[in-house]
Structure 1
Amino acid sequence: MRQDAYGYVVLALVCLGIAPVAQAELEPISDQEMSEVQGQGFMTIENLDDGAHQFTRMSLTMDAETRINADNVTLGSIDSGADFQATDVALGHISRDDARIQIDGNRYAVDEVVPFVGLKPYIELAEVGDELAGFRMGFKQARGTFSSDMTSLSGNIGLQIEDADGNPTAATLFDSNTSATNYRASHFGLAGATTDCSTGVQCAPLSYLRSLDIGEAGEGDATEFTNDFFLSFQREGVNWQSPEGGNVIEAAKGVFLNLPTSMTLNQQVFANGVPRERTHYVDRGNGMF
């Protein structure tokens, strides 16, 4: 499988006109000449091993600024459910207010695009022996807004919610029976003895998260890039390592969406839902668009 992965990389390079060239003779160059040479490969390949899986990560040395909309996204649809189900999915948004400081710390004119920024996109394979155990797609650094009307999620949301005393607490994903889970969750909220998703006590449907700021909390209200935004597919549980090291995200069998967000919701926003950013040029207020 690893040899196949390398084969695909070489094929891609040849198709792009970046074919490797073998030289019969190599001439040494001085340190001075070496210091004058600058360049960067179009693709980098990293091999990792955590003892359970062997990983091959193929990264492109390119940056992307985008705004994407999708009417309906369904992933992992099996057994009368879906690992991820959402409508009106969008990356990036359109400014409504030229006085507002946006997620990247800049101000944008009304109707100007506030892009979702992804640096160094990658595809990573996880293998056991010669068999593929899973793969994922992501960015080594990402920052921007993720908007949707979610009804089912297998994954993580790095969200904080202020409790009744104003203390930030990590949000928990729940199913409709108020059982904590990151498999096909339908609700989110604060874990506690009184939490009840059927009555809305310390719990709300995922559809309340109409727009999320993808990134890490920085100084003040600043949002920094995150290296943990990815979508993965597994035939067994896989521990995905952050591209920059440090974090390990446990993804179970199926489809897994990791949504690291810098947001902290106060009790009022938690009760009413996060307003949706404007994601189309036909602006209908804080509803779908």
Structure 2
Amino acid sequence: MTPTTIRHACIAALACAAMSASAHGLKPMSDDELSEVSGQALLSLTNQTYDGLDFTRITLGADIQLSANLSKVRLGEYSYTARNGTGADIDMGLFRFGRSDGTEAQRTVNITDPYFEFVYKNAADASKREVIGMRLGFGSIAGDLGVQLNAISGSLLINGGAAGNYDSHNDPLGGKRWDGTTCTSTCGLTLSQIGQLTAGDASGASRDFFISVLRQAVNFPGVNAATGAPDKALEGFWMNWRDRLYAPVLNAAPPPNLPKPPG
């Protein structure tokens, strides 16, 4: 018998032994034992009907620590003049996740359960459905962010402490393409006053952030039972963020978010 043959025989024997040991180690579980076991898939798919529309949500069951710098984010550019703003539904000069001038914990933003959700409606042919849009959101988000908000289409509620709240609900067009200057007396803070944001508080993380792109206005179903259903998202690009969102310091520059030094 050659060395190669011996080696192959040993490998086969070990495999058989492992299979035998594994087989002998298995035993059925009772219903009571099974009831004590729980788990979660990495990806989950949810289909539901809400307010006359159909929704398919794909959720990544993950906890993510994110440090990222986005600049010159412009979504939904347009050329007509009605409520022109800066020429985009969402116009952010900066959007930073995390900050490097604070504690080690502040370097990242904690995100859970990111998801995509697609929206459908019945087409003229009853056997077909038509996609009318989608949204990207998080089950929760907590941490410090740096922003430069030039114009926002969305339902936002930012707690500015003693200075009051920024609430796009008070905007004449309900927050569509708002640049923060047309309803200062009723909306509260102006966008130019907000350079730093904190998501979450002692009660927990912020739970209703999403950005959608739609062909028509949509009432989305809620993701977290604690917050209920979110506000209606309008056509075009739309940002929803009303839960536990704070501007801790007004009229301050966005905090830096530099890479961590080596070593």
Relative to the length of structure 2, the TM-score reads: 0.71
Deviation at 1:263, TM superposition (A): 5.0
The alpha-carbon distance between structure 1 residues 65 and 76, as it changes in their structure 2 partners (threshold 3 A), is same
- List 4+ stretches of structure 1 deviating above 6 A: none
Superimposed CA distance per residue, residues 86-119 of structure 1 (whole angstroms, 9 cap, x where no aligned partner): 12221122233xxxxxxxxxxx25xx65311111
**Paired residues for 1:200-279 under 5 Å:** 204=190, 206-215=191-200, 217=201, 222=202, 224-245=204-225, 246-260=228-242, 262=244, 273-279=251-257
Q: Contact conserved, 1:133 with 1:235, CA < 8 A, in 2?
A: yes
Superimposed CA distance per residue, residues 131-178 of structure 1 (whole angstroms, 9 cap, x where no aligned partner): 11211111111112232212110012211346xxx6x75423499xx8
Q: How far apart are the structure 2 equivalents of 1:113 and 1:265?
A: 15
The one-letter code of the counterpart of 1:260 is R
Q: How far apart are the structure 2 equivalents of 1:151 and 1:53?
A: 32
Q: Contact conserved, 1:140 with 1:227, CA < 8 A, in 2?
A: yes
- Report the structure, 1 or 2, having the larger strand content: 1
Equivalence for 1:74 = 74
Q: Contact conserved, 1:86 with 1:152, CA < 8 A, in 2?
A: yes
The alpha-carbon distance between structure 1 residues 208 and 146, as it changes in their structure 2 partners (threshold 3 A), is same
Equivalence for 2:23 = none
The answer for unaligned runs of 5 or more in structure 2 is 1-27, 81-86, 123-128
Give the paired residue count: 219
Q: How far apart are the structure 2 equivalents of 1:212 and 1:33?
A: 46
Answer yes or no: is 1:58 the counterpart of 2:58: yes
Q: Contact conserved, 2:99 with 2:255, CA < 8 A, in 1?
A: yes
Relative to the length of structure 1, the TM-score reads: 0.65
- Report the structure, 1 or 2, having the larger helix content: 2
Equivalence for 1:154 = 153
- Which stretch shifts more, 41-50 or 232-241? 41-50
The alpha-carbon distance between structure 1 residues 261 and 146, as it changes in their structure 2 partners (threshold 3 A), is farther
Q: Contact conserved, 1:174 with 1:186, CA < 8 A, in 2?
A: no
Query: Residue 101 of structure 2: which of 89, 95, 100 is its match?
Result: 95
Equivalence for 1:132 = 131
The alpha-carbon distance between structure 1 residues 145 and 187, as it changes in their structure 2 partners (threshold 3 A), is same
Deviation at 1:85, TM superposition (A): 0.9
Deviation at 1:55, TM superposition (A): 1.0
**Paired residues for 1:157-172 under 5 Å:** 157-161=156-160, 169-172=164-167
Q: How far apart are the structure 2 equivalents of 1:121 and 1:75?
A: 20
Q: How far apart are the structure 2 equivalents of 1:122 and 1:84?
A: 20
Q: How far apart are the structure 1 equivalents of 2:203 and 2:33?
A: 41
**Paired residues for 1:178-217 under 5 Å:** 179=172, 181-187=174-180, 191-192=185-186, 204=190, 206-215=191-200, 217=201
Answer yes or no: is 1:45 the counterpart of 2:30: no
Equivalence for 1:86 = 92
The one-letter code of the counterpart of 1:138 is G
